[in-house]
Structure 1
């Protein structure tokens, strides 16, 4: 298993240049690049060619563009914006040789029937699949463990991916989101492991189900999630993708970027290495 860094972990105390420098120094294999903020910020003073050159001349490589946000149950104008944005992401993925794009479902106060959510997700993901296949890119649906997210459990997300039925459409399994809305561990036990493209590693304070927010995340192994149970299932089923550490902890944003990146690695390795061999370089 290879180790990846998600830029959310230093969202408020770093940038793409520093994240790449410190991730390379600390032996990460991959990085998930935030397209909402960190990549546009980088491109104000740099070019995609510069970023491509960095990846060509260093060990670390890009794993995913994160993320295509709120892709489902949009009005006509919103739907067209999503398709246009995704096509732009495909060009970026092609330029940087990025294998995955993460897609995040709509978060809304509006009550939408689950049947309508599924219908919309399946339709849009099927179209994204068609666009992505010409680029050799895969789309990873990330369910969000929050009551107001339209797709908020592993079982619901897996059902959508199964309905799409395309090899380039799969899932992000985020341990926090799995725990936060009480996803059923039996759904993970029954899942086709090839449908899980990326594993997000994190932990959380012990608040009740449906009350957790991203700010409650803590270093892996420092919280209430039964990570050993999840990792043992993934190991038994033959998961071979990357593990990407993703935290949104405000107090961690007070650390230096390098300290946060190093601690994120150390805590992730400590938890994951009980079950998988991590191919880290340092």
Structure 2
């Protein structure tokens, strides 16, 4: 059996409106090894009187790790003042994440990048990574299929090469590869050191990729994604990191949060573990 580890992205549980403690509880009870928390949920918990110490202790008690955080500071932006503000925000958020034992954060194309060259975005990513690594944090470069810049794996790879960094890690997501038109065969150019985390999801044939939205993501194995091919690429490169279920389904019917999380883990193992 291949040695993948399994995580739950908290977005999968958004319809249940759980706080971070309940998100962690559900992920742990369902049997996940890790969880991806959203910074906005951590901040909401703190605003309501919670503490980082409580989160850290609860994680330890439940034997689960925060393997990545989702946030949207504008690390690359056409407006230099906005970018600098984004870097300040990034450092503040990474300081908070370190306190709960999280050592990685996603860097998606959340700023206004349309008029920036890929070379400039690469310089900005290098600046962000320098700040992060000074804090012993890792940044996962993420592309969004519907973005005007940094929409494909090839653009992300180019930015990584132009950044001057030798060991950039990507956040890979089949949904974004599909909507942005990335070739799944391009995964053959990567090795396991290049992958920070791999999001797991599926998507239907209709609506077409030009019209599909995040809310139409599906559990792995339920759609038309080349899941077996994706799993084979990960096995061939000896990837042993986290597969993280990231869905944005708005209504799960009568299912509880624990039932949804458990179903997700079961389907991840069925579709991504060879001979299972």
Whether these two folds match at TM > 0.5 is: yes
Map of 1:2 onto structure 2: 5
Separation (CA, whole Å) in 2 of partners of 1:25 and 1:106: 33
Q: How does 1:236-275 map to 2 (within 5 A)?
A: 236-252=236-252, 255-274=255-274
What's the offset of the Cα at 1:253? 7.6
86, 94, 101: which one pairs with 2:98? 94
- What is the CA–CA distance in structure 2 between the aligned matches of 1:118 and 1:31, rounded to whole Å? 31
2:75/2:111 contact within 8 Å kept: no
Q: Tell me, in whole angstroms, the C-alpha distance in 2 between the residues paired with 1:234 and 1:95.
A: 31
Given the superposition, is the C-alpha separation of residues 48 and 201 from structure 1 closer, same or farther in structure 2, using an over 3 Å criterion? same
Q: TM-score, normalised by structure 1?
A: 0.89
Structure 1 residue runs without a partner (length 5+) = 277-282
- Give the 5 Å matches for 1:1-282: 1-13=4-16, 14-35=18-39, 37-43=40-46, 44-106=48-110, 112=114, 116-146=116-146, 148-167=147-166, 169-207=168-206, 208-252=208-252, 255-274=255-274
Pair 1:256–1:32, CA change in 2 (3 A)? same
TM-score, normalising length: structure 2: 0.90
1:256 deviation in Å?
2.4
SS at 1:62 equivalent: strand
Say which SS state the counterpart of residue 251 (structure 2) adopts.
helix
**Stretches of structure 2 lacking an aligned partner (at least 5 in a row):** none
Contact 2:74 2:82 in 1 (8 A): no
Secondary structure, aligned partner of 1:11: helix
| Alpha carbons of structure 1 residues 107 and 78: separation in structure 2 relative to 1, 3 Å | closer
Give the stretch that moved more between structures: 97-106 or 71-80.
Answer: 71-80
Q: How many residue pairs were aligned?
A: 270
Is the CA contact 1:11–1:253 (under 8 Å) kept in the aligned structure 2? no
Runs of 4+ aligned residues of structure 1 deviating over 4 Å after TM superposition are none
State the distance in 2 between where 1:105 and 1:253 align.
33
Q: CA RMSD in A?
A: 2.0
Displacement after TM superposition at 1:123 (Å): 1.6
In structure 2, the residue corresponding to 1:33 is in which secondary structure?
strand
Q: In 2 relative to 1, CA 253–70 (structure 1 residues): closer, same or farther, beyond 3 Å?
A: farther
Q: Distance in 2 between matches of 1:92 and 1:253?
A: 35
Q: How far apart are 1:167 and its partner, in Å?
A: 4.9
CA deviations 1:205-237 (Å, max 9, x no partner) are 113233221011011110110011111011101
Deviation at 1:69, TM superposition (A): 4.2
Counterparts of 2:253 and 2:38 in 1: how far apart (Å)? 16
Q: Is the 8 A contact 1:16 1:38 kept in 2?
A: yes
Kindly indicate whether the alpha-carbon contact (under 8 Å) linking 1:204 and 1:217 is maintained by their aligned counterparts in 2.
yes
Q: How far off its partner does 1:144 sit?
A: 0.7
CA contact (8 A) 2:12 2:248 kept: yes
Distance 2:144 2:96 in 1: 25
> 43-52 or 74-83, which moves further after superposition?
74-83
- Is contact 2:56-2:99 (8 Å) kept? yes
Q: Distance in 1 between matches of 2:155 and 2:119?
A: 12
